[in-house]
Chains A and B, each alone.
Chain A
Amino acid sequence: MSGHGGWWGRRRNRQLALIVCFLLPSLIVFFLYRLLPLGWNVILSFQAWSPLKPAVWIGLEHYAEMWTYDDTFWIALKNTLIFIAASPLAIAAALGVALLVNSDLKGATVYRTIVFLSYPLMAVAVGIIWRWMYDERGGIINFALRSSGLIAKPIGFLQDFSWALPSVIVAEVWQMIGFYMIILLTGLQSIPQNLYEAARIDGAPAVARFFRITLPMLRPSLFLCVVVGILNSFSSFDLVYIMTNGGPGHATELLITHIYKSAFEQTKFDYAAALTVVQFALLLLLTVAANKGAGGNAGAVERD
């Protein structure tokens, strides 16, 4: 072969090989722990299988059962959707905080840190803290409500059927607000200041500046928050597990806790696999839709 011929001689191929070398370790991990289980999971959902028996192909039977007989599935689905629906509220609240912290408010950096601090806390810790705060007898929330005379009898926030889900959502929102705020703050700070100056000279009042500059420029950051919120609603297993374990009854059951219980408490791994496929499909659908809404670039910043 000539001096600069050959596969290795080409610059493009050399670069390609280098890129593959760097990517390979994470690709292997991704394949082993993500794609492979997912694939096996899909196959399993069409089979009747329990650890000691050979697998039998049963087609869509699990899905039919889910659709017609499993009331818990429908409750869990509804609760998961409510969980997702709560994230825009959290994002709106986070936007408010981000706007405040981004102004020349005194001590803004301190507030920013305090608000963000909730996010790196372990969900287990958050669950325990909130469970303690919600407690019927010794909880600080009941104490505050009773001593201010708002209620006469303590509320069992996590024991009451109608209070349980909102209470868990509040804890979840509390933890996520810090994260949303940081994302939105970064978005806010990447909006060039002179756009606001130009708009002030152009005569746009503060409200118009918010709706015509801040919001549109923040769209990618907002949608990134939405996507994270959706992902998070599907995976906030730890918080719910610690706070209520899906109870009382199935009042706080999410798809993820339902999957867990089906698999590890009732050892119906095959059925849990079918549930997982449904959850995965739903997740994929919502995420793609959210990313579409962001113009296909959630998290990116629009520049001129």
Chain B
Amino acid sequence: MATVSLRQVRKSYDAQEVVHGVDLEVADQEFVVLVGPSGCGKSTLLRMIAGLEDISGGEIAIGERVVNEIDPKDRDVAMVFQDYALYPHLTVFQNIAFSLQYRGVGKAEIARRVAEAAAILDIESLLERKPRQLSGGQRQRVAMGRAIVREPKVFLFDEPLSNLDAKLRVQMRTEIKKLRERVRTTAIYVTHDQVEAMTLADRIVLMHNGRVEQIGTPEDVYDEPATLFVAGFVGASAMNLVAGRIETGAQGCGVNLGGESRLALPPGRYDAHVGMSVTVGLRPEHLHWAGDSAASMLAGAARVVEPLGSDTLVIFDVAGHELQARLPPRVVRRGGDPVRVAIAPESIHIFDPATERRL
């Protein structure tokens, strides 16, 4: 049971700073996911928490204790590595028992705890095998087992599912979620897969170029992305980002995307920004088919139509922009068909192109 606090944590390799002052408070029993593109510093941050990398600046505390100078083994954290880091010459049992042997746990107690972990992870029949005799998914479970027998204060996961094929990944994701219900421990989980982040996290930390872009629940980061980067990163299909201008007219405040295309904005909200050039974010799944009469809508012609079964992804042109919309099946059938879509004013995201932040 522990909280984890990061205060202005920095990391430099030689002169190159790769993590630029990260602040984060992880509550007790919270499952926090660090997500961001490759090279943004997620692993580096995680490894600093584990004690595998020196901390160049700032402070990391686990519970009440600042751990900057404390050895990994005394931090009471357990880590699951991307490639599992199982000891190849030891059996599954010995792999799982390894850490307990160095913590003064008795033989009988070790056997009991390994059996318990194996039961939770459903790997009881594999205990006598060597890692090379296991499938990827089974190794993954053993790696988890090695972490949970420890009963540590904090779990650290570094992309534990990225070496599995797509189907197994989804399955293991669910397993981790179930496991989480049984073993309620503070956890920090690194991934570059936003779906994994959305499905697992209590809170998501979005990182970009060594900085935190936004911290929030999955709903927060989806509903109100704080920056253009977050807007583009979160969501099953990428958000449409187009240039526009805020203007006010007879129908109230709206945003003009060029030509005749104008979308109404929530009344009053952007009054201070009238006349400003902005970046407009429209999620494909929020664009819906509009009747002929709708005043606030986008009209264009379909370029590509991709039926996905439950819905259809339509790529269409409006006022020189290429947009995507997820529409019900069979509304638009083929390229060249007319497209008429509208969006609820409160679903429109407006960003300042200069600061890239949400208005």
Contacts and interface: CB of A to CB of B under 8 A. Distances in A.
Contacts of B72: 197, 200-201
A125 interface: no
A195 B87 contact: yes
B193 interface: no
A105 interface: no
Contacts of B146: 198, 202
Given A197-B85, A203-B99, A217-B89, A304 B78 contact: no
A208 interface: yes
Main secondary structure of the interface of A (DSSP, over half): helix
Interface string A187-223: 0000010110111111111001000110011000000
Contacts of B77: 201
Contacts of A198: 79, 81, 85, 87, 146
Nearest to A204: B102
Main secondary structure of the interface of B (DSSP, over half): loop
A303 interface: yes
Nearest to B150: A202
Interface string A154-192: 000000000000000000000000000000000000001
Interface string B29-61: 000000000000000000000111000000000
A202 B131 contact: no
B132 A192 contact: no
A194 B72 CA distance: 13
A201 B87 contact: no
Contact of A201 (B79, B86, B132): B79
A187 B247 CA distance: 69
A71 interface: no
B52 A304 contact: no
Interface residues of B, number: 28
Contact of B51 (A201, A202, A205, A208): A201
Contacts of A216: 89
A301 to B, nearest CB: 9
A303 B83 CA distance: 12
Nearest to A215: B89
A67 to B, nearest CB: 44
Contacts of A65: none
Interface in B85-141: 85-89, 98-99, 102-103, 130-132, 139
Contacts, number: 69
A302 interface: yes
A237 to B, nearest CB: 38
Contact of B83 (A192, A205, A208): A192
A200 B83 CA distance: 16
B98 A202 contact: yes
B82 to A, nearest CB: 8
A194 B85 contact: yes
Nearest to B74: A203
A40 to B, nearest CB: 45
Nearest to A194: B85
Nearest to B53: A197
A117 to B, nearest CB: 31
A198 B71 CA distance: 13
A202 B102 contact: yes
Nearest to A302: B88
A205 to B, nearest CB: 7
The bracket for how many chain A residues form the interface is: 20 to 34
Contacts of A302: 88-89
B78 A201 contact: yes
Contact of A204 (B84, B85, B98): B98
Which residue of B72, B86, B131 has the most chain A CB atoms within 10 A of its CB atom? Answer: B72
B73 interface: yes
Interface string B58-72: 000000000000011
A193 to B, nearest CB: 9
Given A304-B84, A304-B139, A203 B103 contact: yes
Contacts of B99: 201-204
Contact of B132 (A194, A199, A200, A304): A304
Contacts of B98: 199, 202, 204, 212
A205 B99 CA distance: 11
B147 to A, nearest CB: 9
Which residue of B52, B78, B150 has the most chain A CB atoms within 10 A of its CB atom? Answer: B52
Which residue of B78, B81, B83, B150 has the most chain A CB atoms within 10 A of its CB atom? Answer: B81
Contacts of B88: 217, 302-304
Which residue of A192, A198, A204, A303 has the most chain B CB atoms within 10 A of its CB atom? Answer: A198
A11 B63 CA distance: 67
B44 to A, nearest CB: 13
B284 to A, nearest CB: 39
A304 B103 contact: no
Which residue of A199, A208, A303 has the most chain B CB atoms within 10 A of its CB atom? Answer: A199
B85 A200 contact: no
A201 B67 CA distance: 14
B51 A194 contact: no
Nearest to A191: B88
B73 A201 contact: yes
13 contacts: A192-B83, A194-B83, A197-B52, A197-B72, A198-B85, A200-B73, A201-B52, A201-B73, A202-B99, A302-B88, A302-B89, A304-B84, A304-B132
Interface of A: 192, 194-195, 197-205, 208, 212-213, 216-217, 302-304
Closest 3 CB pairs of A and B: A202-B99, A203-B73, A304-B88
